Amino acid sequence: MKSRDFHYERPSSLAGAIQMLAQHGASAQVLAGGQSLVPALNLRLAAPEILVDIQDCAELRGLQDMGSTIRIGALTTHAQIQSSALVAQHIPLLAKAVPYVAHVAIRNRGTIGGSLALADPAAEYPAVALALNATLIVRSQSGERRISAEGFFKGLYSTDLQPGEILVAVEFPKATGADRAGFYELARRRGDYAMVGLAAQAVLSAGKVTSARLAYFAVADRPVLATAAAGRLAGAPVGDASAVAAAVEALAADLDPMPDLQAETQTKAYLAGVVLRRVIQQLGASS
Amino acid sequence: MKPQTVSLRLTVNGDPVEADVSPSMHLVDFLRERLDLTGSHLGCEHGVCGACSVMVDNTLVRGCLMLACQAEGKEVRTIEGISDSGDLQELQQAFLQHNALQCGFCTPGMLLTALDLVRHHPDASREEIRDYISGNYCRCTGYQAIVNAVESVLTARKKPAAGGAASAVSAMS
C-alpha cells in the first residue's frame, strides 16, 4: 500500500526541530531512520499530518564517553552501535542485543532513538534499557528532562514522551568487572520480531549471583522485569541447577504473556523459561 | 492542506537527477516510476522481503523504507548501475552456475545484499552468509543454492591470484 499524503519538514538543527514540534503539537511526528515509521505509513497504520525529518540535526549523532556512562545520540544507527568499540567495551548487553535487531539493510538506517521512542513491545532496545536502567534524555522548548527507563515505557507503543518533546540521547551506565550480560530471543526468522526475548544483567561475586535484572520483551505491552525469577538466582552460584529451576518456576509469578500473531500465552510462558536457561548459560560463560 | 511537492536533487547511478516529488513517495517508487529503473522490485512494501534493496551512499538500504525526499543530496546506486559497472560480474556468474535463482524476483536485492557481504565480510562462514541474507526472501530456491553461490565467490577470492577470477576480484575491491 501507499502512504497517505503528509507535509514534510526537514529542520537543519535540533532547535529548529523542537520549534516545529512545539508549533504543530500532536499533528507532527518525528521521522528518524524511518524503519518502523515508514512501514507504518505504507500500511496506513500511521497517518501524521506533518513529518519532521531530523536527519540533519547533527547534535543527535554520535557516541560519547561521559565517565561513568556512555551517551548515545538518538540518531545513532544500529550499524554504528554494532561497530562501536565504546559499546563493545562498556555496554556488553547492548553489543549482544544489536545483532538481533532486524536485518543488515534495516540496521544501516534504523536508530536507537527511534526504537526507544516507538516502544514496540517486541523490540530489543527497550528491554536492554530497562535491564541496565538507562537514562533517556528528552528535550522540548521548556528544557530538558532525564527519565529512567523504568519510568519511560508506559504501554503499547506508549512512552513518557509528551507532545513537543524529542528524545535526544540515552545514557547507559558502564558495566563494571562484576557485571555479566546475557541476551537471547526466539524468532521464527533471524532478525524478525521476537516471540519471546530476554535482556539480562547480573552482578557476580566469587562466582555467585549478587543481583540480577531480567528484562523480558514480547511478552507484555512493554518490557517487563522478572523480579521473582531474579530473586531466585540471587545468592546461588551462577548456573546452579536448583536456582535455575526455581527461577524458571518463578516466571509464572512475573509474566502473564499477551498472546500475539506469533504465539499463544502458554507457548510464550514456556519459551520464557527456555530463554532464561539459555541466558543464564551466557551469564556463566562470559568472563 | 494543499498537497506538497518537494524539490529533490540527488545522484542516481552516477548521474545527477532533479525532480519534484510528493513527500509520501518512497525511493523505490521514485526510481521505478520516475526514472524507469525497474530493477529494484517492490514486494512487501513494509521492509520484510528485501526485493527493493538499493545502495545509498554505499550502504545497503530498503528502498521502500526510505522516502524519496530523504535521499536529497545522496548518492543512490541501483542494480542497473552496479551491474553495468561490472562490480557484480562474479556474483552474477556464481548465481547462474549454482542455479541460485528461479523466478528472479528476489535476485536484484539478493545480489546487492551478497555484494555488500562480499565487500565487508570476506571471511564470512556459511552461517554468517545465511544471517546476512536473512532479510531477503526467496520463495523459489530454498536458499541453499544462493548460499552456495555466495560462498563460492568468497572462496574464489581467497585463492591467490590465478586465472580469470583474479581480474574480477581486483575490479570489485
Please state the domain extents for chain B: 6-82, 86-172
Q: Tell whether the model's pLDDT for residue B173 goes beyond 50.
A: no
Q: Average pLDDT of chain B?
A: 92
Residues B6-82: name the CATH superfamily: Beta-grasp domain (3.10.20.30)
DSSP string, B106-167: SHHHHHHHHHHHHHH-TT--HHHHHHHGGGS--SSS-SHHHHHHHHHHHHHHHSPS-SHHHH
Contact A60, A33 (CB under 8 A): no
Same domain, A68 and A167: yes
Q: Grid coordinates standing for A74?
A: 538518538
Same domain, A105 and A130: yes
Same domain, A108 and A184: no
Nearest by CB to A7, from B23, B45, B65: name it.
B23
CB contact under 8 A, A39 and B47: yes
- Report the Cα B11 to chain-centroid distance in Å: 16
Fold classified for B86-172: DNA polymerase; domain 1 (1.10.150)
Kindly state whether residue A2 falls inside one of the protein's structural domains.
Answer: no
Contact A149, A183 (CB under 8 A): no
In a mutational test of the B interface, the residue from A2, A4, A8, A54 whose CB has the highest number of chain B CBs within 10 Å is A8
Which of the four pLDDT bands, split at 50, 70 and 90, describes residue A193?
Answer: confident
CA dihedral A138, A35, A191, B95 (to 10 degrees): -150
CB contact under 8 A, B135 and A104: yes
pLDDT digits (tens, 9 = 90+) for B1-33: 678 999 999 999 999 999 999 999 999 999 999
In a mutational test of the B interface, the residue from A103, A107, A261 whose CB has the highest number of chain B CBs within 10 Å is A103
Contact A129, A81 (CB under 8 A): no
Average pLDDT score over residue span B42-69: 97
For cell 546452579, name the residue: A240
Residue-level pLDDT at B150: 98
Contact A175, A182 (CB under 8 A): no
For cell 556468474, name the residue: B93
Residue finishing a domain among A149, A173, A197: A173
By a Cβ cutoff of 8 Å, what residues of chain A touch chain B? 1-8, 10, 31, 34-35, 38-39, 41-43, 49, 51, 53, 55, 79, 99, 102-106, 108-109, 189-191
Kindly state whether residue A1 falls inside one of the protein's structural domains.
Answer: no
| Residue length of chain B | 173
pLDDT digits (tens, 9 = 90+) for A217-238: 999 999 999 999 999 999 999 9
Q: Grid coordinates standing for A168?
A: 535526544
Give the minimum alpha-carbon distance from B162 to chain A in angstroms, rounded to a whole number. 32
Same domain, A96 and A133: yes
Which of the four pLDDT bands, split at 50, 70 and 90, describes residue B161?
Answer: low
For cell 537471547, name the residue: A184
Same domain, A184 and A169: no
Q: Which residues of A touch B138 (CB under 8 A)?
A: none
CA distance B170 to B173: 5
Three-state secondary-structure class, residue A211: strand
Range(s) of the domain holding residue A183: 179-285
Nearest by CB to A53, from B24, B70, B131: name it.
B70
CB contact under 8 A, B62 and A109: yes
Contact A246, A226 (CB under 8 A): no
Q: Which residue of B has its CA nearest to A36?
A: B65
Neighbours of A151 (CB within 10 A): 11
pLDDT digits (tens, 9 = 90+) for B115-158: 999 999 999 999 999 999 999 999 999 999 999 999 999 999 98
Same domain, A102 and A66: yes
User: Phi and psi (nearest 5°) for A11?
Assistant: -65, 150
Complex ipTM, two decimals? 0.91
The residue that leads in pLDDT, A232 or B85, is A232
Counting the structural domains of chain A, the total is 3
Residue-level pLDDT at A1: 83
DSSP 8-state secondary structure symbol assigned to residue A23? H
Neighbours of B163 (CB within 10 A): 8
Residue-level pLDDT at B1: 61
Q: Tell whether the model's pLDDT for residue B167 goes beyond 50.
A: no
CA distance B136 to A95: 24
Q: Tell whether the model's pLDDT for residue A43 goes beyond 70.
A: yes
User: Phi and psi (nearest 5°) for A57?
Assistant: -85, 90
Three-state secondary-structure class, residue A208: strand
- Residue of A142, A140, A118, A143 lying closest to A129 (CA atoms): A118
Q: Tell whether the model's pLDDT for residue B165 goes beyond 70.
A: no
Q: Which residues of A touch B22 (CB under 8 A)?
A: 5
The domain spanning residue A122 has which CATH number?
3.30.465.10
Q: Which residue of A has its CA nearest to B50?
A: A105
Residue-level pLDDT at A93: 98
Same domain, A131 and A67: yes
Kindly state whether residue A86 falls inside one of the protein's structural domains.
Answer: yes
Residue-level pLDDT at B169: 43
Three-state secondary-structure class, residue B55: strand
The domain spanning residue A211 has which CATH number?
3.30.390.50
H helix or E strand, kind and range, residue A212 = strand A208-217
Strands B75-77 and B6-12: parallel
Bridge partners (DSSP) of residue A198 are A184, A216
For cell 522548548, name the residue: A141
Nearest by CB to B45, from A31, A42, A191: name it.
A42
- Residue of A33, A66, A48, A40 lying closest to A167 (CA atoms): A33
Q: Average pLDDT of chain A?
A: 96
Q: Tell whether the model's pLDDT for residue B170 goes beyond 50.
A: no
Which of the four pLDDT bands, split at 50, 70 and 90, describes residue B159?
Answer: confident
Residue-level pLDDT at A272: 98
CB contact under 8 A, B134 and A191: yes
User: Phi and psi (nearest 5°) for A140?
Assistant: -145, -175
H helix or E strand, kind and range, residue A55 = none
For chain B, percent of residues with pLDDT exceeding 70: 92
Residue-level pLDDT at B2: 74
What pTM was computed for the model? 0.94
Give the minimum alpha-carbon distance from B70 to chain A in angstroms, rounded to a whole number. 8
Residue-level pLDDT at A177: 93
CB contact under 8 A, B62 and A106: yes
In a mutational test of the A interface, the residue from B5, B67, B112, B137 whose CB has the highest number of chain A CBs within 10 Å is B67
Specify the amino acid at residue A273: G
Same domain, A66 and A169: yes
